[in-house]
Each structure stands twice: as C-alpha cells, then as structure tokens.
C-alpha cells in the first residue's frame, strides 16, 4: 500500500519542505489548479454529515465503479448504516460547484491514522482527485496530529504526492497441508520481490535524499 507519514509537521508547508524543489513546485501548482475548479471544498465529520451528503456520495461511488469496469460491492444501505453508526469515525471531503456536490472522498478515522478508501465524481476537474484524496487528507492528519494517512493499494501516482510504498500483512489458515506448503513457498519468494519493489519505488519518491532514510 501507499502511506504518508506525519513527521511532526506543523502545516502542509512543513511537509513540502522535505521534498525536492521540483516536486514541491509541482504539488503547489496542482493544489492551486485543483482549487480553481469553480466551487468550494468542505471537510465534514460527525453530526456535520447529513443524509444528503450520502445521496451525493452514492452517485460518486457508482461512477467510480462504472469507470473501472467493476461492480460496486457496497450497497446504498451501507451508507445509511454509516450515517447512523459510524459518522464520528468518518471524514467526508466534498467538492461543491453551483450548489451541487460534484466530487468526494471517504476516509475512516483510526487511533493513529486516516484511512482513505473511496473516491468518486460526477464532473471532471484537473487535479481535484489529488486534492480531495491526498492533499486534504494530509491537511487533516497534520491538524489532528495523526501519524499517517493510509491511501490503500495501487497507483504509483501517489508516490509524487508524498505517499511511499509500505508492506502490509494478513493472516490466513489453510487446512490442507500440501496446499499450505505450496502457498508458503510462493509467499517466501513474493516477500523478497515485494521488498525489492518497495526499495525501487522509494528511490523514485519526491523526498530530498536526506529525508529518504527517515521516511523508511
């Protein structure tokens, strides 16, 4: 997965100061362009989240599923349950233009991290995806003194935005011993390949050379 780490930053500029000059300029340019989409961005959590926000986000979620040639697995009822039981553990970052919600990102709040999980839109605006999903999440983590933002798997484009590859783990029980040995053999080889890929991708990250070891 790709995670951003909060090294005690006071603000977003503090984070930018750890990046190479070119990457720092690119991020500033992306944020400026994203915020010129012609509307406003709202960060909502707890009782500030209303059922109408989930109506909008449901459309975003459906749009993302359609564009990725997949079948969205969450139901509309899930978001009603989230409104009832989880809204204090959720941050919605929504973009509104001409009185209508046009894009949004859904994050879950953990004890030490913000977990970015879903994004969608009904209008395309340059770099708005990066702003809502990655840069606003960093702003939130800094303001709330969270240690990390975990942006999930896939998407090497996250590298340039300060999200570096991290190993993740899962636990499984396999009853059939022969199959278990085959899986274990494969995983021992895969771990070495994943470690190598993490090292390579980290070298392509946006941080200054002196900052790379601190990020690892």
DSSP state, 175?
S
Residues spanned by the domain of 175: 2-215
In 3D, which of 79, 131, 78 has the Cα closest to residue 104?
131
pLDDT at position 67, please? 75
Cα 204 to chain centroid distance, Å, stands at 19
Q: What is the pTM of this model?
A: 0.90
Number of domains in the chain: 1
CATH number where 30 lies: 3.40.630.30
- H helix or E strand, kind and range, residue 162: none
Angle 203-206-207 (CA atoms, 0-180°, nearest 5)?
80
Q: Residue 151: phi, psi to the nearest 5?
A: -95, 10
Radius of gyration of the chain (CA): 19
In 3D, which of 168, 56, 142, 155 has the Cα closest to residue 106?
56
Distance CA 127, CA 40 (A): 14
pLDDT digit string (tens) for the chain, length 216 residues: 999 999 999 999 999 999 999 999 999 999 999 999 999 999 999 999 999 999 999 999 998 877 766 678 899 999 999 999 999 999 999 999 999 999 999 999 999 999 999 999 999 999 999 999 999 999 999 999 999 999 987 778 999 999 999 999 899 999 999 999 999 999 999 999 999 999 999 988 999 876 655 565
């Amino acid at each position: 997965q790709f995670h951003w780490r909060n090294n005690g930053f006071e603000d977003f500029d503090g984070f930018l100061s750890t990046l190479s000059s070119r990457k720092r300029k690119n991020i500033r340019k992306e944020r400026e362009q994203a915020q010129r989409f012609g509307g406003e961005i709202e960060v909502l959590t707890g009782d500030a989240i209303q059922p109408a926000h989930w109506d909008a986000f449901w459309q975003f979620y459906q749009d993302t599923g359609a564009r990725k040639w997949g079948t969205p697995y969450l139901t509309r009822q899930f978001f009603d349950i989230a409104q009832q039981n989880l809204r204090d553990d959720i941050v919605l970052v929504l973009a509104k233009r001409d009185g209508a919600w046009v894009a949004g990102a859904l994050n879950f709040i953990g004890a030490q991290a913000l977990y970015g999980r879903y994004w969608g839109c009904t209008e395309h605006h340059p770099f708005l995806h990066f702003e809502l999903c990655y840069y606003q999440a960093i702003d939130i983590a800094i303001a709330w003194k969270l240690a990390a933002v975990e942006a999930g798997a896939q998407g090497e484009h996250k590298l340039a935005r300060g999200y570096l590859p991290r190993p993740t783990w899962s636990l499984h029980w396999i009853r059939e011993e022969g199959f278990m040995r085959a899986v274990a053999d494969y995983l021992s080889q895969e771990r070495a390949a994943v470690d190598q890929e993490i090292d390579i991708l980290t070298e392509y990250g946006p941080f200054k050379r002196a900052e790379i070891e601190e990020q690892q």
